[in-house]
């Protein structure tokens, strides 16, 4: 494959603010990453093509091209995990970013610890997926082949739609799925604005698989954005 175990993982930072780049260069290098940088979107795409990085950190507020476009061009040929950075305001950008295929996002300011945790998660879930057909998260166990779900061994009965949602979340464990993505996946493209469906069904799902539905351990909600199954 790529530089998996033999070398340091390569991370490409695409951001026009030099302070941020410097900050990330220092902290990520110290943690064992090989850090490369690009100051513009154009340069970012080019460098990514040459470098084949293991993970990309992409700022939305680029001067030349929109972050979305950078991501789209990246996705035309690569499945590299991408973590989006956004300045506080603007849910719309974040959502567009996730819809376009970003794996996760962070709002500035952020802590290095959190960033690195998300990078690990993104890389972990970006595996070529030799899909073992059964996944386990904590006490939650999903057998995709038999379509069976259990919580600490006890079988859970899910309806068609509930299972469809959980399946989507599980396939992308650790990754934020936008409302739109979930609705498209479980109901179809023509439902992508019926976000209230999600509230109802996430509630039902939690009631069935969470021990304490008020403090969810598995299905986390990303306010204004979507939902995520921990992974």
Partner DNA sequence: GCTTTGCGTGAAAAACGCGTGAGAAACGCG
Partner DNA sequence: CGCGTTTCTCACGCGTTTTTCACGCAAAGC
State which residue, 20 or 137, has the beta carbon closest to its own copies. Answer: 137
Supply the minimum distance, in Å, between the C-beta of residue 221 and DNA: 4
Nearest to 20 by CA among 85, 92, 91, 116: 85
101 binds, among DNA, its own copies, none (CB under 5 to 8 A by kind): none
Residue 71 token pair: 């991501």
Residue 46 token pair: 């080019």
Supply the minimum distance, in Å, between the C-beta of residue 148 and its own copies: 8
Instruction: Please report, in angstroms and rounded to a whole number, the separation of the first and last CA atoms in the chain.
Output: 23
- Binding segment (CB under 8 A) for its own copies, from list 37-45, 47-55, 113-121, 145-153: 145-153
State which residue, 67 or 174, has the beta carbon closest to its own copies. Answer: 174
Supply the minimum distance, in Å, between the C-beta of residue 224 and its own copies: 4
16 binds its own copies (CB under 8 A): no
Query: Judging by beta carbons within 10 Å of its beta carbon (0-12, 13-18, 19+), is residue 184 exposed, middle or buried?
Result: middle
Q: Which residues of 110-135 are buried (b: 16+ CB within 10 A; e: fewer)?
A: eeeeebeebbebbbebbeeeeeeeeb
The secondary structure of the chain in percent helix, strand, coil, rounded to multiples of 5, reads 40, 20, 35
87 binds DNA (CB under 7 A): no
CA 224, 112, 16: angle at the middle one, nearest 5? 75
- In sequence order, the β-bridge partners of residue 135 are 142
How far is residue 15 from each of residues 43, 61, 104, 197, measured CA to CA in Å? 10, 8, 16, 37
147 binds DNA (CB under 7 A): no
145 binds its own copies (CB under 8 A): yes
155 binds DNA (CB under 7 A): no
Residue 72 token pair: 């789209």
Distance CA 201, CA 190 (A): 18
Site string for its own copies, 151-180 (x = CB under 8 A): --------xx--x----------xxx----
State which residue, 21 or 206, has the beta carbon closest to DNA. Answer: 206
State which residue, 206 or 228, has the beta carbon closest to its own copies. Answer: 228
Residue 204 token pair: 């039902």
221 binds, among its own copies, DNA, none (CB under 5 to 8 A by kind): DNA
Q: Using CB under 8 A, which of 147, 193, 194, 200 touches its own copies?
A: 147
Supply the minimum distance, in Å, between the C-beta of residue 210 and its own copies: 19
127 binds DNA (CB under 7 A): no
- In sequence order, the β-bridge partners of residue 220 are 228
Which residues bind to its own copies, rule: CB under 8 A?
145-148, 159-160, 163, 174-176, 222-225, 228
């Amino acid at each position: 494959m790529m530089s998996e175990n033999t070398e340091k993982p390569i991370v490409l930072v695409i951001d026009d603010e030099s302070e941020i780049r410097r900050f990330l260069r220092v902290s990520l290098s110290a943690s064992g990453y090989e850090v490369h940088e690009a100051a513009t979107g154009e340069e970012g795409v080019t460098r990514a093509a040459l470098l084949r990085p293991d993970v990309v950190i992409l700022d939305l507020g680029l001067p030349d091209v929109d972050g979305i476009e950078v991501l789209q061009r990246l996705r035309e040929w690569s499945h590299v995990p991408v973590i989006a950075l956004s300045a506080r305001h603007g849910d719309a950008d974040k959502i567009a970013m996730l819809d376009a295929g970003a794996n996760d996002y962070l709002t500035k300011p952020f802590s290095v610890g959190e960033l690195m945790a998300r990078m690990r998660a993104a890389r972990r879930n970006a595996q070529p997926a030799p899909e073992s057909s059964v996944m386990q998260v904590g006490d939650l166990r999903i057998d995709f082949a038999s379509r069976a779900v259990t919580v600490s061994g006890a079988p859970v009965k899910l309806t068609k739609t509930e299972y469809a949602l959980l399946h989507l979340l599980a396939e992308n464990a650790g990754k934020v799925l936008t409302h739109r993505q979930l609705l498209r996946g479980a109901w179809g493209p023509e439902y992508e604005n019926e976000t209230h469906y999600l509230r109802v069904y996430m509630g039902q799902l939690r009631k069935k698989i969470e021990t304490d539905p008020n403090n969810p351990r598995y299905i986390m909600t990303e306010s204004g954005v979507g939902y995520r199954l921990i992974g």
